[in-house]
């Protein structure tokens, strides 16, 4: 059974006004449980709007969203359960830190779920370990930490709720390359150990190619493609037509070929064209 399934999902902002905008247009997709999915597409292509449907933050204008086979909006009294089941780390999540210690901040979600003190402690410490935070950080104020550390506290706060699906919207935005690799490596490790479903929204095709198995490509509010990484990059010319840089795609192509992916199309033809 898919972890996430959409049927003819559409979402319109400000309907019936001059600002009306269809941000998600008739998206049908099935994401299998345990998958590591990269979500790519231009700014404004509908990525954020789409993922906010997966934990019920947005209600579809039309169509359905199913989590583990259950219609997310069938019974509104159960929305809370879906919000715990599908954890969403927003862009720049550090702006949502508000407790006076790191420990309290990470434990906020588990406490709201009604876990016992013992369970809370275990969840918090496990989540902190996943993101590389140490015991000595736990009693600090989140505001004393570096940018990368704050980001990791915010991610730990979602991981501590043990979501079946973890969605991260540009988790490395604004970090230096070292901080970026560190966070993505930790997310990969978490996925491998816990085995849950992870969706990673990113601008970086290279990060997506390196970390995900499947790729979901949004283009102008529509689902352009949902396929294995290698297959998506075989259509790299079409993706380039969407405005992503050819040198970037070339590097990915070379790497995929070197790793033995069945990449058939010759990227140099694309550069000459």
Can you give the binding site for ligand ADP, defined by CB under 6 A? 13-14, 21, 23, 41, 43-49
Beta bridge partners of 207: none
Of 160, 155, 76, the C-alpha closest to 113 is 160
CB of 133 to ligand ADP, least distance (A): 28
Q: How far is the CB of 37 from ligand ADP (least distance, A)?
A: 15
Least distance to ligand ADP from the beta carbon of 168, Å?
Answer: 13
Q: What is the rounded radius of gyration, in angstroms, for the C-alpha atoms of the chain?
A: 19
Cα–Cα distance, 192 to 180 (Å, whole number):
18
User: Residue 6 or residue 186: which is nearer to ligand ADP going by CB?
Assistant: 6
* DSSP-derived 3-state class of residue 26: strand
Q: For residues 202 and 42, is the Cβ–Cβ distance under 8 A?
A: no
Nearer of residues 217 and 263 to ligand ADP, judged by Cβ: 217
Beta-carbon-side half-sphere exposure of residue 38 (alpha carbons within 13 Å):
24
Q: Closer CB to ligand ADP, residue 49 or residue 197?
A: 49
* Shortest Å, Cβ 47 to ligand ADP: 4
Smallest distance, ligand ADP to C-beta of residue 27, A: 12
Q: Which is nearer to ligand ADP, 53 or 137 (CB)?
A: 53
Neighbours of 75 (CB within 10 A): 10
4/120 with CB nearer ligand ADP: 4
């Amino acid at each position: 059974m898919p972890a996430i399934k959409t049927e003819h999902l559409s979402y319109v902002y400000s309907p019936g006004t001059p600002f009306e905008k269809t941000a998600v247009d008739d998206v049908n997709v099935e994401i299998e449980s345990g998958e590591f999915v990269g979500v790519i597409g231009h700014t404004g292509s509908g990525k954020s709007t789409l993922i906010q449907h997966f934990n019920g933050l947005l209600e579809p204008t039309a169509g359905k969203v199913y989590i583990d086979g259950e219609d997310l909006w069938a019974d509104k009294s159960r929305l809370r359960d879906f919000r715990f089941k599908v954890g969403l780390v927003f862009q720049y999540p550090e702006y949502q830190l508000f407790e006076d210690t790191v420990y309290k901040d990470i434990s906020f979600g588990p406490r709201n779920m009604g876990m016992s003190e013992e369970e809370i402690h275990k969840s918090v410490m496990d989540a902190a370990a996943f993101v590389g935070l140490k015991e000595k950080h736990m009693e600090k104020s989140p505001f004393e930490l570096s940018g990368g550390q704050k980001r990791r506290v915010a991610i730990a706060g979602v991981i501590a709720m043990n979501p079946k699906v973890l969605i991260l919207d540009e988790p490395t935005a604004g970090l230096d390359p070292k901080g970026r690799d560190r966070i993505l490596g930790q997310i990969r490790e978490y996925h491998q150990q816990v085995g849950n479903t992870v969706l990673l929204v990113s601008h970086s095709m290279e990060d997506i190619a390196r970390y995900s198995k499947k790729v979901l490509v949004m283009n102008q509010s529509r689902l352009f493609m949902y396929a294995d990484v290698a297959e998506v990059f075989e259509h790299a010319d079409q993706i380039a037509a969407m405005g992503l840089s050819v040198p970037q795609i070339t590097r990915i192509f070379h790497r995929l070929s070197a790793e033995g992916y069945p990449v058939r199309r010759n990227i140099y033809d694309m550069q000459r064209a």
